Chain A
Amino acid sequence: MEQHVARPPRLRLAGISKRYGLTQANAEIDLEVGQGEIHALLGENGAGKSTLVKIICGLVKPDAGTIAWEDETIPAMDPDIARRLGIAMVFQHFSLFETLTVAENIALGLRTKESMAALSARVAETSARYGLKVDPARHVHHLSVGERQRVEIVRCLLQNPRLLIMDEPTSVLTPQEVDGLFVMLRQLAREGCSILYISHKLEEIAALCDAATVLRGGRVVARCDPRRESPAVMAELMVGRSLPRTNRLASAPGAPCLTVSGLSLPADDPFGTALRDIHLELRAGEILGVAGVAGNGQKELLAALAGERTTRPATIRIGSTVVGHLGAAARRRHGMTFIPEERLGRGAVAELSLAENALLTCFGQGFVARGFVQRRRVRDYAASVFERFGVVAAGIDAEARSLSGGNMQKFIVGREVGFRPKVLLAAHPTWGVDIGASLAIRQELIDLAATGAGILVVSEDLAELFEICDRIAVLHGGQLVPPLPVAELTASTIGQSMGGVVREMAHAA
């Protein structure tokens, strides 16, 4: 029997709204988590999940709406009250002290005065009770990422939580560890603790959760029972039933300009995702999109393609030339340019002027003679980019950091596009950019493709991908789901690929 129906919900949010500048992060969100219930919070990036969770933990104050704990309204939630009520959160990126032991980390996190011996005993007891193997005496830097997550969970459990929030917990776990985690969560739920489980992985939610709330664009778009609803329907809910119209004219694609064969790359840092056997072919004149929720290997893929990380030579080809072993500057000489995700600090140097930033990637284009920079030519190029792309700034001598995000992005796009590359890599090209600049940038990419260049766009923004791409592939867990032409994609197929349910998208019947 559903025993938690008679009792008041552990947490009830009503009409929660929060605005950041021009963005409505949360809009009139209602959420109910029952006692002992495992409740999924489903949505893509930017759907508003992290803002909502920060509000629940008291780190952010909502503009409107109420929070009720077991039918009692909490007028002003803050971290101390949240802690006292029993709200605990396991973050996606842990904050542990690597050179200290597990017990020492927990002692610091709990701010407890008890002795190490007493605490270690409590840690051992809790970890045994929930099947979370942690050794209090081990140093954190010896632990795998899965083990570190267990430390974080034990730390939460020692505070006797009544609501445990888990943010994308399985992205760093092996399949066996995922099973172990689920066993533990179910036991917790049986003991009466409620669990708010944030994820975009549909199969897991179906296997674990009792209820699901779907967020999109800051709003609740659906509530469902994942045990009954099919993953296909949930996927559609996550990405939206109707996909944006595309303006792309069908064109005959040319010869392959970028070929990736069997790209496998280990992750650079413990929170990264390893790439596994990626194959892709980008043809001249086409725009190929790579969709996917952040954290599934996008960073690693771009680093490998742009040349910031090198691999075996034949793995990556530009045209017919092998370039896998070449660095970024060399690949530029072969006609590849790259628009990175981070503008200031990576795509441009904040303290330098626009004119000087033009040189950052264009030094191989005849702007340097015998070691000396041809400043006149660099300035002319910068000025042409400035004019053509309508960059709003105090002139090409303005410091890069004085520009707005949209204008800086326009400049960087213009700089990379200006040399008519054969291959252009673009990472989230309109993220954080205003509407006008976004339109201009997208049009620029379309025009570039029309001249015969091949463009690879990695983005989380499905609307953007559908607007400009010819084909779209999906990156999940470091593996690439092969691309399909945009006309043959449905919300269900794309959503399921992003949710990890399917490894290959079926062609439309």
Chain B
Amino acid sequence: MSLFGSLGISGSGIDAAQTWLNTVAGNIANMNDTSPTDQATYGEQTPVFVPTATPGQVGDGVTVAGIQEGDTTGIIQFDPTNPQADAKGEVRVPDVQLSSQMVDMIQAQTDFQANTAALADAKTAYQSALTLGT
């Protein structure tokens, strides 16, 4: 670990929160997708966070292990005016709930802010260490 380890740890947390915000934005953007009923639709994306840990030691923060893709079955919706509609006038739409995405977004934002606050406090602590003995 380098001299300023906590800066890197907080940085990895900020990166993870940014990834989370990106997936939420992608989910909201694709909320109104449609696809033919014989095809899969957009699956809700969720990032998977795992610790960058060495056993028995202070870790190096968090990494995004991957993006989990949710159910691509979606919901069958009646929309006969859609050009993708089948003979019964049905299309497949993603199973993405705006309310849960908004809650996820608030959580991701708080995650980002918490990591930023931890970074700022670490910086203040390092600076106050330099004033020792003066």
- Same assembly: no
- Name A's B-contacting residues (CB within 8 A): none
Chain B residues near A (Cβ < 8 Å): none
